[in-house]
Amino acid sequence: MASDSQVSVVMVPFLAQGHLGQLMHLSRLISSYNIPVHYVSTTSHIRQTKSRHEGWELQSFENIHIHELPIQPFNSPPPDPKASIKFPFHLQPMFEASLHLREPVCKLLASLSATARRLIIIHDNLMSYVVQDFVSLPNAETYCFQNSSVFFYFSYYWDLTGRQIAADDQILQQLPGVEGCFSAELFAFAEKQEVHARNSSGHLYNTSSSIEGHYFDLLQELKVCRKQWAIGPFNPVQICKKPDEQRHKCLEWLDNQASNSVIFVSFGTTTSLTDEQIHALAVGLENSCQKFIWVLRDADRGDIFTGEDRKPELPEGYEDRILKANQGMVVRDWAPQLEILAHTSTGGFMSHCGWNSCLESITMGVPIATWPMHSDQPRNAALITKVLQIGTIVKDWDAGNNLVEPLIIKNAVKKLMASTEGDEMRKRAAECSDAIKKSVSEGGASRIELDSFVAHITR
């Protein structure tokens, strides 16, 4: 499709890993139409994005321009693994500090507006306040990036509007509640965004109608925005192979394991487990007799490059024992999740069910053992286990803050990795993967949606 070089796109992600990465992936997709993309964030979050970037070479996309902006100082306390609610309260000071990006973002938008026929601003739904001054620019329009599943957003807006449209769907009737998912502070922060979000010209979703088409259609019926496009997955469906010297050590270990024999265990960047839960997880994984890679890190601070991280304790001799037995390995630094999920030896994923993790896992055809922690995760878990049927439950959301015992963990791992049910989940996950990969190829649903969006902004 022909593009219009007089159109410039500005990406304004929210300051958290799952948001930063998704809009960087979208930058690649948009820039492939020969449209200049300006990716905007703070200096430390740009550094974070680059250091954790995977799947394609950022340097090879000359049309992606990075803008580092200053941010007001903020005090990010260490995460509290003992908190009864797993929402990352410790990141709230960073959320509040992000509001001060309004002025530098406004200056950048004004500068870019002066040299473009049309300025397109794609911003995270939690950055609507920051981009609000676009209304003063005669050639600017905004599109709101919704960073979770369509299933989550439909169910959320459906509840909010009093379930006004008929949805003959037993799964929707039995949704997990949102109590304990969010903090009062986050709701207050989101309210500051809502009034400005109404000026958006449309919503973008990182999903494919091949897996969420039914709920995308239902969401359109709710008319929560002017236009909407399902153009995911943003992440690449094929991974660029790195030279051996640049590969993470866990990938070398995976190279020596049988196909679909390893479960990958990771709970994202915003959750810390208690020492007691870590111990129970360690015992459950070992007793399952299944191979595993476990990313054991504390939650991110507001600035991941400052402060000392807590190093969770494992049973004495645990790491050496499982490595010597070739049962698994514990990774305590950042791990290349997309590459791990794409590896042929990876046959399962124990996850918190953040949407980024869910979609990466679905893209690579890997079923999920669900352990939601907060935010959209309980409903994403319902999508995985009940709608798509490509996962099994480790922790039910209704269990609250109760300890997940080693036996429950062991049984969930064995069910996913060493049972007929698990094999069926893997087969369905592979079918979802095939459908998603077809959707992003020429003539596929997501590709058509992306072409449609690009045609719309370059009209």
Q: Which residue of the set 19, 38, 123, 203 is catalytic?
A: 19
What tens digit of pLDDT does each residue of 135-162 get?
999 999 999 999 999 999 999 988 888 8
Q: What is the pLDDT of residue 4?
A: 44
pTM: 0.95
Q: Please give the Cα distance from 265 to 31 (Å, whole number).
A: 33
Q: Does 1 have pLDDT greater than 70?
A: no
Lowest mean pLDDT among 101-115, 210-224, 337-351, 425-439: 210-224
Burial 262-297 (b: 16+ CB within 10 A, else e): bbbbbbbbbbbbeeebbbbbbbbbbebebbbbbbbb
What tens digit of pLDDT does each residue of 160-177 get?
888 877 776 778 888 888
Q: What is the pLDDT of residue 160?
A: 83
What's the mean pLDDT in 388-409?
94
Q: Which residue of the set 45, 90, 123, 124 is catalytic?
A: 124
Q: Please give the Cα distance from 414 to 285 (Å, whole number).
A: 9
Q: Please give the Cα distance from 355 to 207 (Å, whole number).
A: 9
Say if residue 182 is exposed, middle or buried (CB neighbours under 10 Å; 0-12, 13-18, 19+).
Answer: middle
Say whether the peptide bond before residue 233 is cis (omega within 30 degrees of 0): yes
What tens digit of pLDDT does each residue of 285-308 get?
999 999 999 999 999 988 898 888
**Residue ranges of the alpha helices (H) in 207-330?**
209-222, 249-255, 275-287, 318-324
Asked about 124 being catalytic, the answer comes back as yes
What tens digit of pLDDT does each residue of 84-101 get?
889 999 999 999 999 999
Q: What is the pLDDT of residue 3?
A: 43
Q: What is the pLDDT of residue 168?
A: 67
Residue 5 binned pLDDT confidence (cut-offs 50, 70, 90): low
Asked about 80 being catalytic, the answer comes back as no
What tens digit of pLDDT does each residue of 6-65 get?
999 999 999 999 999 999 999 999 999 999 999 999 999 999 999 999 999 999 899 999
